[in-house]
Structure 1
C-alpha cells in the first residue's frame, strides 16, 4: 500500500533565530517609532519581524522617556541663584556693620556726655549755696557803703573797730568764695555795658560820654568758674555817641 502524502506539504514557517537584535542607541523617538511601524508592516507570520517590532517599540518608549526627563530638567528652575545669594549676604553684612558703627558712636557720645555731666556736677555743685551766700556779701557791702569815709575818720575807736571788723569779715567771705571758683565781676572806669554780664537798671543823660558807659554799680555781679552766676546791676549813660561794640557778646 502506497503511503498518502500530507495535504499540506509546505514547510512550516521558519522560526526566527535567537540572535539579539542590535539597535542604534542614537535613534530619536520618532526614528524608533518609524522603525517600529516598518517592522509591523512585514508579514505577521514572520517571528523575526515581530521581535524586531517589539524591540523597536521598547526602544521608542525608552527614548521618549529619556527625552521627557531632559525637557523636565531643562525647565526646572534652580532653588537659588548663587550670585543673588552672595549679593544678599553682602547687603546684610553692610547693614550690620553700619549698625555696629552707629551703636559704637552712640555709646561713645553717651560716655562723653556722662563724663561732662559728672565734671560739671562737681564743678558747679556750689551754685545754690553760692547764690545764698551772695545775699550775705551784699549785706556786708551795703553796711560799708552806708558809712562815709568822713564819718569813719571822725568816729570813736569802738566804731572804727566795728567797721574794721565788718571789712575783715567781708574780705574773708570774698576769699572763701574765690577758693570755690566764685568771683566778683570787675567793672573798670568808663566801662561799656555788656549784656553778657551786666543788667541795666537805669539810664543817665550824659552827652559827654559814649552811650552805654557804666556810671554806677548798684549790685555786684558774680561768675562761678566760666558760668555767669549773677549779672551786675548797673546804671549807664545815654545821649552820647554810640560806644564801641563788644565783639565777644
Structure 2
C-alpha cells in the first residue's frame, strides 16, 4: 500500500468514527428517557395507590367514629334508663304499703266526724284521735305522701278527683266541687287514690251577675 492510499484510508476512518460515537449516544439517551418515563409512571401509580389507601382509611375512621358515637349514646341511654328505674323503685317501693295505711286514716277521720264534740267526757278521747291523725299525716308526708282534699268551689280535676255524684247547688258553679266525701292521696306525685267528691250540676249561680 502506498503512502497516498494509507492517507486516504486514515481520512475515511476519521470520518466514520464520530458517526459511531453519535449513534451510541443517541441509544443511551433513548434508554435514559424510557427509564425516566417508566419511573414517572411508577411514581404516579404509587401516588394513586397511596391516595386510594388514604381515602379508604379515612372512610374507615369515619365509620368507626360513628360506631363509637352510637355506642356511647346507647350506653348513656341504658345508664339513664337504669337510673330512672332505680329512682322509681325507691319512690314507689312503699306504694303497696302506703295504700294499706289509707284505711287507718279514713277510720280516724270517721271517728272524729262521729264523735260528739259537745260531750265533755269525750273531749280527751277526741283530742287523742286528733293528735294521732296529725302524727299519722306528718309521718306519711316524710315518705312523699300528700293528701288530696279539695275544698268547696274548687274545679274538678279528673287526674286527682273522682266525681261520685252531681247535684244542683245555687252557691256553686257547674262542674265545681260541692263537697269532699273522702280524701285522696298521692305518693311522690303519683296518684294512690283519688279524692271522692260531689260536683255541682247545671243550674248553679249565674256567673254574669
Scaled by the length of structure 1, what TM-score is found? Answer: 0.59
Question: CA offset at residue 233 of structure 1?
Answer: 1.1
The RMSD of aligned alpha carbons is: 3.1
Q: Counterpart in 2 of 1:52?
A: none
Q: Return the offset for 1:234.
A: 0.7
* Separation of aligned partners in 2, 1:212 and 1:175: 32
The correspondence of residues 124-135 of structure 1 with structure 2, limited to 5 A, is: 124-135=92-103
Unaligned 5+ segments in structure 1 are 1-21, 28-69, 245-249
Give distance in 2, aligned partners of 1:118 and 1:143. 39
Higher relative contact order (CA 8 A, sep 6+): 2
CA change 1:207–1:160 in 2 (3 A) is closer
1: CA distance, partners of 2:170 / 2:130: 37
- Larger helix proportion, structure 1 or 2? 2
- What CA distance in whole angstroms lies between the structure 1 residues aligned with 2:59 and 2:152? 69
Structure 1 contact 209–237 (Cα < 8 Å) conserved: yes
Q: Give 1:139-218 correspondences, 5 Å limit.
A: 139-147=107-115, 151-153=116-118, 155=119, 157=121, 159-206=122-169, 208-218=171-181
Describe the superposition over 1:96-127 as per-residue Cα deviations: whole angstroms up to 9, x where unpaired.
00110111122122223322332332233222
Does the CA contact (< 8 Å) of 1:221 and 1:231 recur in 2? Answer: yes
In 2, Cα distance between the equivalents of 1:166 and 1:241?
A: 37
Spell out structure 1 runs of 4+ moving beyond 6 A.
Answer: none
SS in 2 for 1:190: coil
Q: Which residue of 2 aligns with 1:115?
A: 83
Distance change in 2, residues 1:189/1:235 (3 Å): closer
How many Å separate the matches in 2 of 1:224 and 1:189?
24
SS in 1 for 2:117: helix
Name which one, 1 or 2, has greater alpha-carbon Rg. Answer: 1
